[in-house]
């Protein structure tokens, strides 16, 4: 019975963490928002223990900050932070996807690529329509599943964490400027095609395009702030 209770608490902990992360990614909990364990526990009508554990987990993922004697705050990610994260993912993603293309698909990867392609199609449609919240969900799943083909969970989790943080930075800006959502990166399907063909050069080109798109967008934010 004790084991069953532990599983229930851990499941609740994950559900709360997932729900709060979704709120942050949707922009309903903007950067700088502060709250206490008690407030979240009352909101979800649960005890304080799984809430505290969920908030600590989100802090470890770089989405929240602990505020002494005041609770937690949604992390404010700066433009410099964003650029640093894009640089980090550039260095890793370019190498692992080129390797994936060069060595070909491993056992069982054909079915995985079918799932990745579905994510790509949904992400492309969401980007084309400017459906930001839908795009974020499919985009995160797309990159997580695609990077998962490499077979290194440490790399997959690291990249997923960076990508979530990049979206946390981007969402408030995109919500303020609907025009920017008309230029969201939507070449997910082309990347799946290149990986499927084993075209390492095209994979490199598309990954570069993906990362450069983020940097160009950030440069536009900086220009607008200076003007």
Residue 67 belongs to domain with CATH number: 1.10.10.10
Contact call for residues 63 and 21 (beta carbons, < 8 A): yes
Contact call for residues 198 and 113 (beta carbons, < 8 A): no
* pLDDT of amino acid 150: 81
* pLDDT of amino acid 41: 94
Is 157 found in the same domain as 119? yes
* pLDDT of amino acid 190: 94
DSSP β-bridge partners for residue 220: none
Tell me the average pLDDT of the chain. 86
Which of 28, 44, 74 delimits the end of a domain? Answer: 74
Which 3 state secondary structure label does DSSP give 70?
coil
Report, as ranges of residue numbers, the positions in the chain whose pLDDT lies below 70.
1-9, 98, 101-109, 226-227
- List helix spans (H) across the chain: 2-25, 37-44, 48-60, 79-103, 109-129, 132-148, 153-176, 188-197, 200-226
Is 105 found in the same domain as 189? yes
Residue 183: which residues within 8 A CB-CB, separation 6 or more?
A: 217
* pLDDT of amino acid 1: 33
Is 83 found in the same domain as 69? no
* pLDDT of amino acid 103: 64
Domain containing 214 equals 79-226
DSSP 108: T
Is 27 found in the same domain as 93? no
* pLDDT of amino acid 160: 93
* pLDDT of amino acid 118: 93
How many domains does one find in the chain?
2
Per this entry, what is the length of the chain?
227
Contact call for residues 196 and 145 (beta carbons, < 8 A): no
* pLDDT of amino acid 90: 87
Is 122 found in the same domain as 54? no
Is 111 found in the same domain as 25? no
Residue with tokens 């649960």: 46
Percent of the chain at pLDDT exceeding 90: 55
Which of 74, 94, 113 delimits the end of a domain? Answer: 74
Retrieve residue 193's tokens: 């095609």
Contact call for residues 222 and 214 (beta carbons, < 8 A): no
Is 156 found in the same domain as 49? no
Is 44 found in the same domain as 150? no
Is 154 found in the same domain as 56? no
Is 68 found in the same domain as 18? yes
Which of 40, 74, 108 delimits the end of a domain? Answer: 74
Q: What is the pTM of this model?
A: 0.86
Rounded CA gap, 101 and 197, in Å? Answer: 8
Rounded CA gap, 17 and 60, in Å? Answer: 11
Is 217 found in the same domain as 149? yes
DSSP β-bridge partners for residue 72: 35, 66
């Amino acid at each position: 019975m004790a084991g069953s209770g532990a599983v229930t608490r851990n499941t609740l902990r994950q559900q709360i963490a997932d729900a709060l992360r979704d709120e942050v990614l949707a922009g309903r909990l903007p950067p700088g928002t502060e709250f206490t364990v008690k407030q979240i526990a009352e909101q979800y009508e649960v005890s304080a223990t799984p809430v505290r554990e969920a908030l600590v987990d989100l802090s470890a993922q770089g989405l929240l900050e602990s505020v002494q004697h005041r609770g937690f705050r949604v992390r404010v990610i700066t433009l410099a932070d964003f650029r640093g994260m894009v640089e980090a993912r550039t260095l890793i993603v370019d190498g692992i996807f080129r390797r994936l293309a060069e060595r070909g698909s491993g056992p069982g990867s054909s079915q995985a690529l079918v799932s990745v392609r579905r994510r790509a199609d949904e992400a492309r449609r969401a980007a084309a329509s400017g459906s930001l919240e839908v795009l974020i969900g499919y985009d995160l799943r797309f990159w997580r599943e695609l990077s998962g083909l490499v077979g290194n969970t440490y790399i997959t989790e690291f990249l997923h964490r960076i990508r979530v943080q990049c979206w946390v930075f981007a969402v408030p800006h995109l919500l303020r400027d609907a025009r920017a959502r008309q230029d969201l990166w939507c070449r997910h399907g082309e990347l799946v095609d290149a990986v499927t063909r084993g075209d390492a050069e095209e994979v490199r080109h598309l990954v570069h395009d993906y990362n450069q798109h983020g940097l160009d967008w950030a440069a536009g934010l900086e220009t607008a702030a200076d003007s």
